[in-house]
Amino acid sequence: MGDLQHRVYPVLQMEANNKKTSPAHGKTEHLPTQRPFPPPATVDNKKTPPGRGKTEHLPTQRPVPPPATTVDSKTSPVAREKTLQQLPIQRPLPPPLMMVRNKKRNLCCRLFCWCLSLLIIALISLAVAITVIYFVFLPKLPQYEVNSLRVSNLGINLDLSLSALFKVEITARNPNKKIGIYYEKGGRLQVWYTKTKLCEGPIPKFYQGHRNVTRLNVDLTGRAQFGNTVLSALQQQQQTGRVPLDLKVDAPVSVKLGKLKLKKVRILGNCKLVVDSLSTNNRINIKASDCKFKLKL
């Protein structure tokens, strides 16, 4: 079949060229000769039956990969599904480190907000409780008054220190109707002259009930350095008839509300006294007294 096509195709082409001559003038128009086109190669995939000749073995070509398919919005749903099914399956990417940090930061913020809220609630509850206690019990600070001061000893020792022995009588008043006061162990009473501590003594432990008045006798003893200097200054003040003294109080107390005993607090006080003299074994007149007290939590 292939040999027959090679023989017939040039003959047909020559006849076609001869027909293009002009009949009116009787002259032939010489057209440029064209090279014959080679016949298309035919590939016979069928097996040649026996006795008809041999088959031509053409070189095998590698299969070309299909072009990448894209999903068009105008395609049909069936074609779109087929196209989507052909897309490769992608594995989910792991979460970035920033997301983990944000989760930890959010957890810390929530914990801080919870702690802050609990603290605010506790402070509000404490303020409400204190307000209720104040309006129900109407607490008042105790009042103190120095009744008398007696000097038993005031002299110079062999080491030139000043030895002093005082006896002080104090009146303590509890003006509260529903509050009792426990005077705990560790209270101190001190007598100072300018910046020199002359003597000190312990305040006795006792309980003071509602609207109670208690008198306390406290013995004070002490030694002061530079006795000659201090004693000479005291003698000069006695000549004027006005000796300034400071009486300092530091008393730990516990407050009783009904049957409830609260936490221990401290009563701090300072009484500025002016006496006429510091003569031993004589009555000392207190000319002026100014006492101030405060509560220390």
R_g over Cα of the chain: 61
For residue 175, give Cα distances in angstroms to 27, 141, 179, 209, 214: 155, 8, 9, 10, 12
In the predicted structure, residue 118 carries a pLDDT above the cut 70: yes
Residue 135: band (very low, low, confident or very high) from pLDDT cuts 50, 70, 90: confident
Q: What is the mean pLDDT of residues 247-272?
A: 91
Residue 115: band (very low, low, confident or very high) from pLDDT cuts 50, 70, 90: very high
Q: What is the mean pLDDT of residues 271-287?
A: 90
> Over the stretch 261-275, which tens digit does the pLDDT of each residue have?
888 999 999 999 999
Q: From CA 273, how far away is CA 249, in angstroms rounded?
A: 13
Q: What is the DSSP string of 101-148?
A: HHHHHHHHHHHHHHHHHHHHHHHHHHHHHHHHHHHHH-----EEEEEE
Q: Which domains does the chain have, with CATH numbers?
A: 143-296 (2.60.40)
Residue 117: band (very low, low, confident or very high) from pLDDT cuts 50, 70, 90: very high
Q: From CA 198, how far away is CA 230, in angstroms rounded?
A: 9
Residue 49: the pLDDT is: 47
Residue 158: the pLDDT is: 87
- Which runs of E-coded beta strand occur in 4-69? none
Q: Are 174 and 212 in contact (CB under 8 A)?
A: yes
- Strand, helix or coil at 63? coil
Question: What's the whole-number average pLDDT of the chain?
Answer: 78
Residue 108: band (very low, low, confident or very high) from pLDDT cuts 50, 70, 90: confident
Buried b / exposed e over 230-254, threshold 16 CB at 10 Å, is bbeebeebeeeeebebbbebbbbbe
> Over the stretch 7-55, which tens digit does the pLDDT of each residue have?
545 545 555 555 544 444 444 444 445 555 555 554 444 444 444 444 5
